[in-house]
Chains A and B, each alone.
Chain A
Amino acid sequence: MERIPILKMGRYLLVSIQVDMDDRTALALQDDLTAQIVKHRAKGVLVDISSLDVVDSFIGRMLANTAAMARVLDAETVVVGMQPSVAITLVELGLSLKGVRSALNIERGMELLQSVARDTEAETADAADEE
């Protein structure tokens, strides 16, 4: 089975999905990402889906699950580069992907990730101060 490579950049993980994944590959990516977040104590995950010309309910659920799982592990997820035709189709499919942050491209996504991670850090620091 194919495995999607995960890159580490400091405290962030970067995944660029370049192939049309079958369901098993998608599930493996979800598991791998979760494991890597723990291993590297990652603060954020950037998932680039600009090469995907179709996102169905299975892949959509994988993205939502990854974001939910990451949140539990105190990491933020941003999905970048969704093609307009994919976004239109997802709405009609009935998948809202609420809870998944998105950005236009990798650069914007990285900015968003850093600002969100900074906010959470500030909150944690505030909470610590109050104790």
Chain B
Amino acid sequence: MPQTKSETVPVRSTSEVVMVRHMVRRWAVEIGFSIVEQTKIVTAASELARNMVDYGGGGVVVLEALDDGIRRGLRLTFEDKGPGIADVEQALRDGYTSGGGMGLGLGGARRLSNEFEIRSKPGEGTRVMIARWKGAS
């Protein structure tokens, strides 16, 4: 998938989570996402960035603008070297939280994205990749 632009930013604090929201918004606007598409990917990004801060000891997010000549999209990869998730199925379940949250971050981010991939190994960290395509429902 040809990528037209890519950037990596650190996420270590709740104020950097806000910065990620703003950055994802800017990129989504640039790609031509509708307001609803923008809001969905910004919200998903906010959840995943917060998880890195709350549970992963901080991490990085890689933003990639995609264009294959037919579709334009935005891919976001959240990567931390935290404790990882022992039971990913359980973590994805709505309402499951180990930290007093609402337990909607992972499941919600999956629903708000067109593509969703999670890889986590206890002791090594967590990587979540999401993507949205312009015009996809």
Q: Which residue of A lies closest to B107 (CB)?
A: A94
Bound together, the chains give a CA A71 to CA B133 distance in angstroms of 42
Bound together, the chains give a CA A85 to CA B17 distance in angstroms of 20
B18–A94 touching, CB < 8 Å: no
Q: Name the prevailing secondary structure of the A interface residues.
A: helix
- CB of B114 within 8 Å of the partner chain: no
A54–B47 touching, CB < 8 Å: no
Which residues of chain B come closer than 8 Å to A61, judged between CB atoms? 101-102
Q: How far is the CB of B82 from chain A (nearest CB, A)?
A: 18
A54–B14 touching, CB < 8 Å: no
B17–A57 touching, CB < 8 Å: no
Which residues of chain B come closer than 8 Å to A23, judged between CB atoms? 14, 17, 50
Q: Which residue of B lies closest to A95 (CB)?
A: B104
Binds A, one of B1-9, B34-42, B55-63: B34-42
A54–B43 touching, CB < 8 Å: yes
Bound together, the chains give a CA A61 to CA B36 distance in angstroms of 21
- CB of B112 within 8 Å of the partner chain: yes
- CB of B10 within 8 Å of the partner chain: no
Q: How far is the CB of A75 from chain B (nearest CB, A)?
A: 23
- Residues from 33 to 59 in A contacting B, C-beta threshold 8 Å: 53-58
Q: Contacts A23-B50, A24-B14 known; A57 to B102 CB distance under 8 Å? A: yes
A56–B43 touching, CB < 8 Å: yes
* Residue from A20, A22, A60, A88 within 8 A of B39 (CB atoms): A88
B102–A20 touching, CB < 8 Å: no
Which residues of chain B come closer than 8 Å to A24, judged between CB atoms? 14
A60–B102 touching, CB < 8 Å: yes
* Residue from B18, B21, B102 within 8 A of A95 (CB atoms): B102
Q: Report 14 cross-chain contacts, Cβ distance below 8 Å, ordered by A residue.
A: A22-B15, A23-B14, A53-B25, A56-B47, A57-B47, A57-B102, A57-B108, A58-B46, A58-B101, A85-B39, A93-B43, A94-B94, A94-B104, A94-B111
Question: Lowest 4 A-B CB distances belong to which pairs?
Answer: A93-B108, A22-B14, A85-B39, A23-B14
